[in-house]
Structure 1
Amino acid sequence: MGFSELLDTIGGVGCYHVMQGVMTFICGILLAFQNFLQNFVAGVPEHYCQFLNQTGAESLYLGGDRSGDLLKASIPMDKGGKPERCLRFTEPQWHLLNANSTEELKLDTEDCLDGWVYDKSIFLSSIVIEWDLVCGRKPLKPLIQTIFMGGQQVGSVFFGILSDRFGRRTVLRWSSLLATIIGTCVAFAPTFNSYAVLIFFIGAVIAGINLSSLEWAPLKNRMIVHNGITFSFSAGQILLPGWAYLVREWRWLQFSTLISFGIILFGTSWWFLQESVCWLATHNKLPLAVKSLQKVAWINGHKEKGRKLTPEVVMSYIQEDLEAMKTSPFLTDLFRTPGIRLTTFCIMLEWFACGFSFYGLGLDLQKFGFSIYWVQVIFALVDFPGKLLASISMSYLGRRVTLFFLTFFPGLMIIINIFIPQDMPVFQMILSMLGKGALGGAMSCLYLYTPELYPTEIRQIGMSAGIFSIRFGSLLAPVVFIISNYVSILKPLLFGIVPILSAISVYFLTETRGLPFLETIQETENRSAPDTYQESEKTSLRKWHLNLKERKMVSEM
């Protein structure tokens, strides 16, 4: 018996689980808002240098189009016929206003010593406009995203420890409150440095927001809950550009997306969301665990069933779960034996590649030259067919074939994009879009595949290693943007080569389609060994079929 059977005694899935599922979906949307918010908060508008201070003599040269004439005389043009973003003439070149004049001569230029003029037709305001994060300060823009992702990495560890010490509900409550407080401070940050510090803490506290939906879901419904979480993240990417279009001021946009955590999560955590029963039991708070279960039963319309619960009944159901929690594995257990060590290296590379290239594509949307709002929507929509393809392929072709295709294909698309001419942005966008969709499907595949590769005793820590890797990959993706300011070819090369390397590593993983979960490390070693791999699969399948027959016989008796 286990927690799933305990839930069945109080009516199983009901209104509480539906409400918690809705909350989880909303939480996923808000998390996606934060992860991709820099596409709009740090949007880069068209810009050029401020003109030199004029003396009044320019009126002799200017025609009816005063601003256009000043631009032509003050700012050199690039190869595409657009004003240079980071240079201006050392003095106005009035002769360029002559229709017969050309810019063949090498004219003296200088940096934008007096600031920049920004086109505010798309971005009414942004941190780029406010703090001039262009030209020499351009690397500071992706640095913000790196700091945010770094905060998430630190926060996931820090708040994970706090959750084990003080409980999921308590940490959720304080994380959502802190997100609201710090979010308010972020929206009114006076300087870039203060904004960077606060954005780190925002990333950290958001990582502490965990609704423990999977813990409250019965085993048979956990895949549905997981799919809801993954699709909510895609839904958030779709809704974000619409909200960003309505709220054009970056400070209000940042504030409105963060205040939602407090309004929605902090309030509901007081009267609706319940603490994890297993956590309460392991911390000698069994009476509170009974009260939580009784409240869930009451919300689900099974008040009488809830009244029948006693601490002894609850303990009899979750005893096995508690014993499993007491034998906590260590990270070193993932590297102790050859088979699990190889699996861990390969699976961490898979997770890293997905996070690295997924955010590498998803945070670089302005390069196509189209409306950032529509491009964000299109890049989010493509996640849905990618995840659907992954689900179908895993069922019919297996995990290895699916994962190989969904990592090799996007790497290939990114590499091909290197050779596409810059005057074909539509084709470039299509290739990038297909790559991002495939990577979204690869993540869904990994969420299912990773637990199947590890035995019960280290399954959870194996999954944690994967989550750590994907966050580390998402942290390094903006770093590549910084480096690409100096070596532009590195960006597509790295984002393309890494998923291809991860696709090759799939060869060293074992197929798990149709096989039961592994129970011991020795079973994993037997299945991973090249000389016993096929025999191990046959044995596992035979045991699986025998178990099915035994269950059928028991049900008939």
Structure 2
Amino acid sequence: MNFDEILCVIGGFGKFQKILYVWICVPQIFLAFHMLVSVFTGAVPPHLCRSARPSAATPAPLNFSVLTGADGRPDLSCYASMNRSADPEDVGATAGCQGGWEYSQETFQSTIVTEWDLVCDDATLNNVGSSIYMFGLLVGAVVFGHLADKYGRRVIILIGLAIQATFGVAAAFAPNFYVYTALRFMVGTSISAIIMNAFVLGTEWTGLKQRMLAGIITDYFFGFGYIILAGLAYLIRDWRKLQLAISAPGFLFFVYIWVLPKSARWLMANDRKEEAWEVILKAAQMNGKPIGKELEMCQIHNAEEKAPLRSSYSFLDLVRTPTMRKQSLIVFYLWFVNVLVYYGLSLNISDFGMNIYLTQMIFGLVEMPARTITLFTLNRSRKISQLAFLAVGGSACLLTIFIPQDLSIIRTVLAMVGKFGITASLSIIYVYSAEVFPTVIRQNGIGISSMCARFGGVLAPMMYLLRSVSSHAPMVLCGLCPLLGSALTLMLPETANKPLPDTIEDVEGVRLSKEDGGVKKGLSDAPLTNVTVGGAGTD
């Protein structure tokens, strides 16, 4: 029997799996902290050059409200002389501020912006720093994905937790912006190490019927972290203390050395049957379904038997043939645009004009129903669910550009609807893409898709540099990109309640002929081995 059949015997979602999900879900809260904390630590308060003070002899409070322009953003603050008027014609095009900056402390005691003066000429450094952090996720996905396949899920999760706590705490004591960015980059790599392998570890221990539900459970905990962060940031207004508060508890995860189990599926696939058998016996006992010697290890046919079949394919097979190429490119774009817009909205909540802490909490609350509704729509139609939620998210974002700045509540509600649609779409694409790619190249397809998603994350903070072109440009992008994705989804197949494709031939609907030196019916000229694979599953 294979491992899925073993799970049927010992329990696919018993006490063992439920405890396992507790262990892998709790870190998701801290992942949300690190992913979204820059909303507060990198916030830009209203600021004014010190030379604008009326007089050192008669100091008076600075009126930061005069810095608000027509679009609701700080205006005129990048000039050295503002002691007479807020009229641009009276200010003059003077040189940069020579005396340093003063910042409003109405909302924040300190941020990295106020500490290192990341405004005006240096304002882009703030966005670049966020992009470098997101690039850390891309590097982490590539590096730790490979290491996890080689050394196992558990050990990489432990390494990721150690990196996150160590470098997260170190970031709270960074002496300058460049050291801070480097430390945050390392935290970003740990995010990928944890989030990917925790999801895989849970999936590899869960029965087929419960996998979709189990995957959604981990997403809920990320949403909890989203909401909790709003409260923490409200209570802790100093960026160093906030960074320390979200990082230091990470050292408590050292107990995972003793409680986090190994993946029996991975151990079997790597010919470590005795270790796998020990963990399987423990899981069976904990689930109240002890097994006897009738399940001998010689009966277990593991993934290594399928390795020769998978090794005959590469990522190039994703684009060799017409139908596979079309579907692959569409799926890659969907991953890219989902992550681009998700973090584009999540990291720039101050743009909507409402209280930043309240907006953060609302955006976090939206995560819950958005992920829940997919449980009901996915079984009906993957295709319609994907395109509908993309259309809802894109349309809502696009509508915000027509709402005046003073109607901040309406703009926030529309942004919330946009966030709802994109969050639901992001949950669906995980399941949908795994069913679009055939078994023989599924891992390659998911891997490339994940890389495209990370590029979306890298570009999300940079997207708001387009405000120099037009204040509406970021939201136009957040609207049009999902709408394009919705239209492209029409070209994907429906996969709900249908057997998974095993080979590229299943996708193309024809036989690929090596003897003909290519593919029949005018497909790609690239020769492919005629292989039939059955029941390899998604793992």
- Normalised to the residue count of structure 2, the TM-score between the two structures is 0.86
How far 1:88 moved relative to its partner? Answer: 5.2
Which residue of 462, 473, 476 maps to 1:493? Answer: 476
Measured at CA, do residues 92 and 272 of structure 1 come closer, stay the same or move farther in structure 2, by a change above 3 Å? closer
Q: 1:238 touches 1:376 (CA, 8 Å); kept in 2? A: yes
Cα shift readout 1:24-65 (whole Å, capped 9, x = no counterpart)? 221222211111111111122222221458776x65xxxxxx
The one-letter code sitting in structure 1 at the alignment partner of 2:218 is: I
Matched, 1:22 2:22: yes
Measured at CA, do residues 215 and 309 of structure 1 come closer, stay the same or move farther in structure 2, by a change above 3 Å? farther
Measured at CA, do residues 182 and 388 of structure 1 come closer, stay the same or move farther in structure 2, by a change above 3 Å? closer
Q: 1:456 touches 1:520 (CA, 8 Å); kept in 2? A: yes
Aligned partner of residue 102 in structure 2, secondary structure: strand
Q: 1:49 touches 1:85 (CA, 8 Å); kept in 2? A: no
Measured in 2, the distance between the counterparts of 1:402 and 1:165 equals 36
Measured at CA, do residues 301 and 248 of structure 1 come closer, stay the same or move farther in structure 2, by a change above 3 Å? farther
How far 1:182 moved relative to its partner? Answer: 1.5
Matched, 1:142 2:127: yes
Measured at CA, do residues 190 and 508 of structure 1 come closer, stay the same or move farther in structure 2, by a change above 3 Å? same
The residue aligned with 1:452 is 435
Which residue of 301, 304, 315 maps to 1:331? Answer: 315
How far 1:439 moved relative to its partner? Answer: 0.6
Measured in 2, the distance between the counterparts of 1:76 and 1:34 equals 31
Measured in 1, the distance between the counterparts of 2:74 and 2:179 equals 32
Matched, 1:86 2:73: no
Show the 5 A alignment for 1:247-286.
247-264=236-253, 266-268=254-256, 270-286=257-273
Measured in 1, the distance between the counterparts of 2:90 and 2:461 equals 36
Measured at CA, do residues 395 and 208 of structure 1 come closer, stay the same or move farther in structure 2, by a change above 3 Å? closer
Show the 5 A alignment for 1:359-378.
359-378=343-362
Measured in 2, the distance between the counterparts of 1:466 and 1:79 equals 40
Matched, 1:239 2:228: yes
Cα shift readout 1:520-557 (whole Å, capped 9, x = no counterpart)? 221211299xxx9xxxxxxxxxxxxxxxxxxxxxxxxx
The one-letter code sitting in structure 1 at the alignment partner of 2:319 is: F
How far 1:89 moved relative to its partner? Answer: 6.3
Measured in 1, the distance between the counterparts of 2:316 and 2:103 equals 53
Measured in 2, the distance between the counterparts of 1:521 and 1:82 equals 52
Matched, 1:229 2:213: no
Measured at CA, do residues 256 and 469 of structure 1 come closer, stay the same or move farther in structure 2, by a change above 3 Å? same
How far 1:79 moved relative to its partner? Answer: 5.3
Aligned partner of residue 490 in structure 2, secondary structure: helix
How far 1:519 moved relative to its partner? Answer: 2.4
Aligned partner of residue 378 in structure 2, secondary structure: helix
Measured in 2, the distance between the counterparts of 1:479 and 1:527 equals 44
Show the 5 A alignment for 1:403-418.
403-418=386-401
Measured at CA, do residues 220 and 55 of structure 1 come closer, stay the same or move farther in structure 2, by a change above 3 Å? closer
Q: May I ask how many residue pairs the two structures share in their alignment?
A: 505
The residue aligned with 1:99 is none
Matched, 1:322 2:304: yes
Q: 2:270 touches 2:304 (CA, 8 Å); kept in 1? A: no
Measured at CA, do residues 223 and 152 of structure 1 come closer, stay the same or move farther in structure 2, by a change above 3 Å? same
Measured in 1, the distance between the counterparts of 2:447 and 2:218 equals 17
How far 1:103 moved relative to its partner? Answer: 6.2
Q: 1:48 touches 1:83 (CA, 8 Å); kept in 2? A: no
Q: 2:12 touches 2:210 (CA, 8 Å); kept in 1? A: no
The residue aligned with 1:132 is 117
Show the 5 A alignment for 1:63-142.
67-68=60-61, 78=69, 84=75, 86-87=77-78, 90=81, 92-93=83-84, 106-108=90-92, 110=94, 111-142=96-127
The one-letter code sitting in structure 2 at the alignment partner of 1:157 is: V
Measured in 2, the distance between the counterparts of 1:291 and 1:77 equals 65
Which residue of 342, 352, 358 maps to 2:342? Answer: 358
Measured in 1, the distance between the counterparts of 2:10 and 2:176 equals 54
Measured in 1, the distance between the counterparts of 2:298 and 2:121 equals 63
The residue aligned with 2:364 is 380
How far 1:148 moved relative to its partner? Answer: 0.9
Measured in 1, the distance between the counterparts of 2:361 and 2:371 equals 16
Measured in 1, the distance between the counterparts of 2:25 and 2:45 equals 33
The residue aligned with 2:171 is 186
Aligned partner of residue 107 in structure 2, secondary structure: coil
Measured in 2, the distance between the counterparts of 1:527 and 1:243 equals 57
Cα shift readout 1:485-527 (whole Å, capped 9, x = no counterpart)? 4554432232222111111111211122332222222121129
Which residue of 522, 528, 531 maps to 2:505? Answer: 522
Matched, 1:199 2:192: no
Unaligned runs of 5+ in 2: 512-520, 522-539
The one-letter code sitting in structure 2 at the alignment partner of 1:323 is: E
Aligned partner of residue 438 in structure 1, secondary structure: helix
Which residue of 261, 264, 281 maps to 1:294? Answer: 281
Measured at CA, do residues 78 and 494 of structure 1 come closer, stay the same or move farther in structure 2, by a change above 3 Å? closer
Measured in 1, the distance between the counterparts of 2:322 and 2:72 equals 59
Aligned partner of residue 208 in structure 1, secondary structure: helix
Q: 1:76 touches 1:89 (CA, 8 Å); kept in 2? A: no
The one-letter code sitting in structure 2 at the alignment partner of 1:118 is: Y
Deviates more, 1:277-286 or 1:422-431: 277-286
Cα shift readout 1:424-477 (whole Å, capped 9, x = no counterpart)? 221111111111100111112212221222222222322223222222212111
Show the 5 A alignment for 1:492-511.
492-511=475-494
Q: 2:76 touches 2:88 (CA, 8 Å); kept in 1? A: no
Q: 1:384 touches 1:437 (CA, 8 Å); kept in 2? A: no
Aligned partner of residue 106 in structure 1, secondary structure: helix
Unaligned runs of 5+ in 1: 60-65, 97-101, 533-557
Matched, 1:48 2:36: no
Matched, 1:32 2:32: yes
Show the 5 A alignment for 1:342-357.
342-357=326-341
Deviates more, 1:456-465 or 1:130-139: 456-465
The residue aligned with 1:389 is 373
Deviates more, 1:322-331 or 1:505-514: 322-331
Q: 2:435 touches 2:501 (CA, 8 Å); kept in 1? A: yes
The one-letter code sitting in structure 1 at the alignment partner of 2:325 is: R
Measured in 1, the distance between the counterparts of 2:82 and 2:415 equals 42
The one-letter code sitting in structure 2 at the alignment partner of 1:28 is: Q
Cα shift readout 1:98-118 (whole Å, capped 9, x = no counterpart)? xxxx96973546443212211
Measured in 2, the distance between the counterparts of 1:526 and 1:80 equals 54
The one-letter code sitting in structure 2 at the alignment partner of 1:455 is: P
Q: 1:420 touches 1:428 (CA, 8 Å); kept in 2? A: yes
Aligned partner of residue 167 in structure 2, secondary structure: helix
The residue aligned with 2:458 is 475
Aligned partner of residue 67 in structure 1, secondary structure: coil
Measured in 1, the distance between the counterparts of 2:437 and 2:88 equals 67
